[in-house]
A and B are shown apart, each in its own frame.
Chain A
Amino acid sequence: MSLPRNEAVSGRRPYMRSMNGWWRRDPYFVRYMIREATALIVAAYALVLLAGTLCLSQGEVAWNGWLAAMRSPLSVALHVLMLVAMIYHSYSWFEIMPKTMPVMFVGGKRVAAATITMVGLAAAVAAALALFVVAWLLRA
């Protein structure tokens, strides 16, 4: 049985190119990494809601404790940052949608990437407004 030439014979370790900062070399990669990083914010927000649900199941005192925590200046500041990240998440989701969804045809013509993105962003704005209206109606 022959040994691999590089390692076993010479004892040298193969050259591994460093991955440090690869994504900083190109603005396209930077946007990619920011898009991927928004997943951390989506997860963090889900945990905030999970904490609220757990508190709600424990009764009024626990729920009011969660509400008080949400009112703290630190929490509000973090939510402002989360809002910015969430808006970018939403924008980037529809920006890459032409690449993630199957090719679509309308009237025998392929739907343009920009059209798909614009329709998606319009749907996001409409959904956000609808959600706000529902919250507004619940206040009574």
Chain B
Amino acid sequence: MKASNAPIFWGLFGAGGMLSALLGPMLVFITGIAVPLGLLLPRDLMNYPRMLAFSEHWAGKSFVFAVIALFTWHAAHRIFHSLHDVGIHTGALAKLLCYGSALVVTLLALWSLLAIGF
């Protein structure tokens, strides 16, 4: 029997779902509402020196990478399995587009975080 790759995608879906369920709302609030408006948090919280230092640290780098990659794999898996519900009959191409774009996002995040340096 051919080994299935489904557990990998399911695992990434689950990890991304859990991470986004726990931190997604507050992340959106902080980066998209609080800091841009100076609401509860100062507007310069995400200024260049601070965010550069954050992303140069291995822990900050790992956090940003985990959020971008896992959120994307979660979404890709869910969108792929929802295509059938909206009447799109999926095949290898749909799978390639969904998981392929998640892979591209993951590699771009990895590349940019490594380019920022340590």
A113 contacts chain B at the CB level, 8 A cutoff? no
Contact bitstring B10-29, A, C-beta under 8 A = 1, else 0: 00001011101111111111
A111-129 contacts to B, CB under 8 A, are 120, 123-124, 127-129
- Contact check, A63 vs B108: say whether CB atoms are below 8 A apart: no
Contact A124 B21, CB 8 Å, known A46-B68, A53-B68, A136-B41: yes
Tell me whether A57 is interfacial, beta carbon within 8 Å: yes
Query: B108 contacts which chain A residues (CB < 8 A)?
Result: 50, 54
| Interface bits B72-90 vs A (CB < 8 Å: 1, else 0) | 1011101100100111000
What separation, in Å, do the CA atoms of A82 and B30 have in the docked complex? 12
> Is B97 interfacial (CB 8 A cutoff)?
no
Nearest A residue to B39 by beta-carbon distance? A76
Complex interface: chain A residues within 8 A of B26 (CB): 127-129, 131-132
Known A36-B85, A40-B79, A89-B20: A76·B36 in contact at CB below 8 Å: yes
Smallest CB gap from B53: residue in A: A138
CB pair B21 A50 closer than 8 Å: no
Q: In the complex, A29 Cα to B11 Cα: how many Å?
A: 25
Q: Count of B residues near A, CB < 8 Å? A: 54
* Cβ of A87 under 8 Å from chain B: yes
Query: B99 in the interface, Cβ–Cβ < 8 Å?
Result: no
**Are B105 and A131 in contact, CB atoms less than 8 angstroms apart?**
no
- Taking a contact as CB atoms under 8 Å apart, the answer to whether A43 and B76 are in contact is yes
Contacts of A57 in B (CB 8 A): 112-113, 115-116
A52 to B67, CA, bound (A): 13
In the complex, A33→B75 CA distance in Å? 14
Collect the chain A residues with CB atoms within 8 Å of residue B42's CB: 139
Contact B72 A43 (CB under 8 A): yes
Q: Which residues of A approach B to under 8 Å, CB–CB?
A: 19-20, 23, 33, 36-37, 39-40, 42-43, 45-50, 52-54, 56-57, 60, 63-64, 67, 70-71, 75-76, 78-80, 82-83, 86-87, 89-90, 93-94, 100, 120, 123-124, 127-129, 131-132, 135-136, 138-139
29 contacts across the A-B interface (CB closer than 8 A): A19-B86, A39-B74, A42-B74, A42-B75, A43-B71, A43-B79, A46-B67, A46-B75, A47-B105, A50-B108, A53-B64, A53-B112, A53-B116, A54-B112, A56-B48, A56-B112, A57-B112, A67-B47, A70-B35, A71-B37, A79-B33, A80-B33, A86-B24, A120-B21, A127-B22, A128-B22, A131-B27, A132-B30, A135-B34
